[in-house]
Amino acid sequence: MRSAGQVVAVALDAVFDALEPGITTAELDDIARRTIRAEGAKPAFLGLYGFPAVACISINAEIVHGIPGERIVSDGDLVSVDCGAIVDGFYSDHARTAVAGDNADDERLRLVDICRESLLQGIEQCVPHNRVGDISNAVEQFVRDAGFELVREYVGHGVGRELHEAPPVPNVGNAGTGPLLMEGMTIAIEPMIMSGSWETKVLDDGWTVVTADGSLSAHFEHTVAITADGPEVLTSARNG
């Protein structure tokens, strides 16, 4: 799983290095595909539940599961990329959000920063004998204190021999509740936050989840191992 995590981190490094106004989401998806293959791994998302691409690429009000295509990225777009890799039958899952180009207003930059930091707040709770609710509550409280909302219908999850395993890891919840965290567990924590209402809807393509009120959204995700020495982020980039 460390190997799978490193592969997807390298793939997202390559994708975000190439992110600029004028590129299409299909071109970004192709970069992820080529990088994962070059690392000797398999894409985790391609064909899963019928998904037609290697990466989910979502823009602005799109939260998750955006399908790459001929859509052109514009200056100032919020671009979220969610991707996974398989190495020797083990999965990784990783997502990042960034603003394309130089036209980044304060609201977009702050949304990205809060979402990224909320993930780190959740990771800090990943120690043996804590509970999933401790992760959920840490994420929720940080985001709410910043004045943003969180997605309810879509959650983090266990990950290992399958991309989606037990337990579910919500982004809202009460501390001290939920499944016990034990040494050796591997989970994906993925805050999905928005600048408006928490309500969502799915577009006619059957995949793309958007904010119901058209507000902006950001998404970050790491695959994390619970160890005796604390959380180990398996999808951390090679340069840290």
Neighbours of 184 (CB within 10 A): 10
Q: Would you state the pLDDT for residue 238?
A: 67
Q: Would you state the pLDDT for residue 104?
A: 87
Q: List beta partners, residue 168.
A: 157
CA distance 4 to 123: 19
Phi, psi of 171 (to 5 degrees): -95, 5
Long-range interactions of 39-43: CB distance < 8 A, separation 24+: 39/6, 39/7, 39/10, 39/11, 39/85, 40/7, 40/87, 41/3, 41/4, 41/7, 41/85, 41/86, 41/87, 42/85, 42/86, 42/87, 43/83, 43/84, 43/85, 43/86
Judged by DSSP in three states, 226 sits in strand
User: pTM value?
Assistant: 0.97
Give strand ranges (E) for 72-204: 78-83, 85-87, 90-91, 94-99, 149-150, 156-158, 165-169, 186-189, 192-194, 200-202
Neighbours of 19 (CB within 10 A): 21
Q: Would you state the pLDDT for residue 101?
A: 96
Residues of the chain with confidence (pLDDT) below 50 = none
Distances (CA, A) of 104 to 29, 75, 79, 108, 141: 23, 8, 12, 6, 26
